Amino acid sequence: MMGLFGLPPPLASTLPTVRPRIFVSYHHANDRRYYNGFSQVFHDQYEAIEDRSLDRQCNSDDIDYLRWTVANNDIKGTSCSIVLCGAQTYQRKFVDWEIKATLDSEHGLIGVQLPTAPLNYHGHVMVPTRLAQNIQSGFALWGHWDNLTVDNLRNWVYTARLNAALLKVQIVNPRKIKQRNG
């Protein structure tokens, strides 16, 4: 195939497009239908949107091993994590571990409010504390499920990855990990 002026096309135009690898964190028992919808809509744009539930994968009570598994099998190789925040997400220890591993890896972080997310007595959405701290610091992004379109997600992932490259000093990650749900 010949390009402009009878010359071969640039090499970049013949290379396959690389889809960003992202990790999606959510409460598996309550929010699977949102994850399935997310995965179905965005499968062609992003790689590694897959279910990696620790509840089913690891038969271990060793917290250090489970956290290592999150960091090395789930977060490693991705550039951004998206936390789907539903009714009980803020209480889930594995979600906290996934957020911590994302921040330890200095990857982008996005929280998405699901329609089921509860409000506290101040009228604010209840999200995992580690996520809330990073939204407040300006490192993590926050969006709503109803605004989740292909274009918006592309912009959110781009901005989150840019934040990870430029705003590392704004990462807030001092809290001890959750030892149990609730």
pLDDT at 5: 47
pLDDT at 55: 47
Side chain identity at residue 122, one-letter code:
H
Tell me the domain boundaries of the chain: 19-48+64-170
When pLDDT is cut at 50, 70 and 90, the band that residue 122 belongs to is very high
The C-alpha atoms of residue 136 and residue 131 are separated, in whole angstroms, by 9
Q: What is the average pLDDT score of the chain?
A: 82
pLDDT at 78: 87
CATH C-level class of 19-48+64-170: alpha beta
pLDDT at 12: 47
pLDDT at 17: 63
Q: In 122-133, which positions are buried (b, 16+ CB within 10 angstroms) versus exposed (e)?
A: eeebbbbebbbb
Cα torsion 56, 62, 65, 66 to 10°: value is 40
Task: Give the count of beta carbons closer than 10 Å to the beta carbon of residue 144.
Answer: 15
Closest alpha carbon to 141 in 162, 111, 168: 111
pTM, full prediction:
0.82
When pLDDT is cut at 50, 70 and 90, the band that residue 88 belongs to is very high
Does residue 148 surpass a pLDDT of 80?
yes
Does residue 91 surpass a pLDDT of 90?
yes
